[in-house]
């Protein structure tokens, strides 16, 4: 009695995949052109079928273009946090002071924003006192009152 080598079993064979599992507009156009080139000249594709396929292609192309335009729009709308919070420079911000032992808010502190910084994926406001405050902790933003020299 001879035995079969287990490496020859179908379940042990590697499968080879080529190409993509999705069809794009270029693939659709190639299929349509191949179909037109290989049709029977005595029985050409019916007008309704051809118009229907062209409408499907046009619709596919429009959806692709709209998707690309929408992606471009969303990419342009998302500003980096530094740019988003740069409008706070020169403004007075208030933030709670938390007791590190109890975790309870003891008081509220305020300061003027001097700069905006990013560190380890978080955005911080740097106050004129050199204190760094995470933007998530800000509870109030206000204009500075005019100085004596500006009130004339």
pLDDT in tens, the chain (152 residues): 667 777 666 666 566 656 666 666 677 778 777 877 777 777 766 667 777 777 787 888 888 889 999 988 887 666 677 788 888 999 999 999 888 888 888 889 999 999 999 888 788 999 999 999 999 999 999 998 777 555 54
* 133 C-beta neighbours (distance < 10 Å), count: 17
Alpha-carbon gap, residue 51 to 72, rounded angstroms:
31
Q: Is 26 helix (H, G, I), strand (E, B) or coil?
A: helix
* Residues forming CATH 2.30.30 domain(s) in the chain: 82-143
Selecting from 2.30.30, 3.30.2010, 1.10.230, 3.40.50, what CATH number does the domain 82-143 have?
2.30.30
The pTM for the full model equals: 0.45
Alpha-carbon gap, residue 33 to 47, rounded angstroms:
15
């Amino acid at each position: 009695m001879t035995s079969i080598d287990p490496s020859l079993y179908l379940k042990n064979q590697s499968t080879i995949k080529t190409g993509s599992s999705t069809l794009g507009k270029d693939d659709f156009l190639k299929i349509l052109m191949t179909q037109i080139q290989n049709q029977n000249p005595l029985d050409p594709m019916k007008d309704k079928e051809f118009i229907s396929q062209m409408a499907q292609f046009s619709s596919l192309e429009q959806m692709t273009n709209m998707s690309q335009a929408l992606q471009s729009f969303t990419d342009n709308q998302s500003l980096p946090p530094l740019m988003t919070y740069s409008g706070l420079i020169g403004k007075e911000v208030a933030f709670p002071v938390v007791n590190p032992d109890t975790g309870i808010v003891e008081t509220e502190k305020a300061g003027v924003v001097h700069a905006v910084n990013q560190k380890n994926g978080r955005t911080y406001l740097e106050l004129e006192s050199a204190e760094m405050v995470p933007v998530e902790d800000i509870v109030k933003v206000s204009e500075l009152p005019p100085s004596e020299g500006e009130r004339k």
